[in-house]
Structure 1
Amino acid sequence: MPSTASAPDPTMTRIVEAVQLGQTGAAAEARQLLTALWDEIGPGDDALHRCTLAHHLADLQDTLDAELRWDERALAAVSELTDDRTQRHLPSLEVRVFLPSLYLNLADCHRRLGNPDPAREYLARARAHLAQLPDDPYGEMIRAAVCEFVADDPTDHRRR
């Protein structure tokens, strides 16, 4: 995500570089870099850094339990995040656009772990926040993922 902020954020730059490395197939190396960065910044650091790190670390885990823990950390960090902070990174970014994706990730993780009740609860939260998404490719991607999740969920009787 390009930043139009006046000064580059070195931590966000490192996160983006590690994520891009993971997207090239070097998931283990990306996970190692992001985990080291997580250890470096600590639990009291910038909520944007923690949310972004945890969100991307979840996708790089080898087990569903580990993925769930990172997804939960991302959601916990977003609760401390403010629009003022996100907009210092990217002027148009608002905290509310994080929520549908974070809730959807938790729903998906719980579904794959065989926990239908929390999966449905998080899916309902994701759906409740869809209107907050921008009308852009990111918003379309998250809306489509929610629709796909519902279509793939045999326990969701609303689709029948």
Structure 2
Amino acid sequence: MKTKFSPANAVVKLCMKGMALEDSGNAEEAAEIFQQAWREATDDYERFIAAYHLARRQKSAEEKLKWMEMSLQCALKIDDENVKSAYPALYKNIAGCHKELGDLENAKRNDELAKSFEGPPTDTGPFYHGTKADLAVGDLLTAGGNSNYRDGLKMNHIYFAAGANGAGLAAALAAGEGRERVYLVEPTGEFENDPNVTDKKFPGNLTRSYRSKEPLRIIGEETEWTALTASELQKLREGSAKKTGEIIN
């Protein structure tokens, strides 16, 4: 079973709005938006995400622990390999709360649980890569291309995702004048969670974004995905241009 992460989900949209408010310095307003996300959550997946963000905004270790454990309990009910990618972050946060509260025994137990769930991704795809290049089945995509997010940066990995929409977004941001293309790909070697998104906005790797130093082989082309509108794409490009944080390469 795989639970589909969607930016169009109402609770995800609220959490994204809350994070944008945090980035602009409106912490109290962000907390209110996360509370709204919790109230509007309709299933364990939505509650897991909303509770995690509510936990982050709590001022006391006790309240943060309560909401982080709530997020974990919801995640544990889902029985989803993708959601399990969030377990290490949740257990680490819970361990941190226990340390702050002086409960070293529970801190150690939760740190050990976090480590027990760490490891390489087990996702079996299908996988997609977005670009403006005109390629054919059998071609290999290799590392060393230019970053879509930072001028002059050569990438040490080739990136891909388990969602066509995410690959479509990468295609929209890719350099070049050709039409946006989303290719079905298969990794030819080991791959890892993309550290630029894992545990950054959401716990774990809910967007199922990956990278590899080994080539990706094109096995087909996907023609069905949800493209951004021109205004959405412009906003995204403007937001990317403003970001000054490190890209983990």
TM-score (normalised: structure 2): 0.46
For residue 24 of structure 1, report the CA deviation from its aligned partner. 2.5
1:66-107 per-residue CA deviation (whole Å, 9 max, x = no partner) reads 101110110111012243xxxxxxxxx812201000100100
The number of residues matched between the two structures is 127
For residue 139 of structure 1, report the CA deviation from its aligned partner. 5.3
Q: What's the counterpart of residue 194 of structure 2?
A: 136
Q: What's the counterpart of residue 229 of structure 2?
A: none
Q: What's the counterpart of residue 23 of structure 2?
A: 23
Q: What's the counterpart of residue 231 of structure 2?
A: none
Q: What's the counterpart of residue 120 of structure 1?
A: 108
Which aligned pairs between 1:1-160 and structure 2 lie closer than 5 A?
A: 8-41=8-41, 45-83=42-80, 94-132=82-120, 134-137=192-195, 138=197
List gaps (5 residues or longer) in structure 1.
84-92, 143-160
Identity of aligned residues (%): 26
Asked whether the 8 Å contact 1:64–1:113 carries over to 2, the reply is yes
Give the distance between the partners of 1:16 and 1:118, measured in 2 at CA.
31
Distance of aligned partners of 1:56 and 1:117 in 2 relative to their CA distance in 1, 3 Å threshold: same
Give the distance between the partners of 1:107 and 1:132, measured in 2 at CA.
22
List gaps (5 residues or longer) in structure 2.
122-191, 204-249
Asked whether the 8 Å contact 1:34–1:53 carries over to 2, the reply is yes
CA root-mean-square deviation: 2.5
Q: What's the counterpart of residue 148 of structure 1?
A: none
Asked whether the 8 Å contact 1:96–1:132 carries over to 2, the reply is no
Give the distance between the partners of 2:30 and 2:78, measured in 1 at CA.
24
For residue 16 of structure 1, report the CA deviation from its aligned partner. 1.1
TM-score (normalised: structure 1): 0.69
The structure with the greater share of residues assigned to strand is 2
Runs of 4+ in 1 over 2 A off after TM superposition: 132-136, 138-142
Which amino acid in the other structure matches residue 123 of structure 1?
D
Single out whichever of 56-65 and 20-29 deviates more from structure 2.
Answer: 20-29
Query: Looking at CA atoms only, which structure, 1 or 2, has the larger radius of gyration?
Result: 2
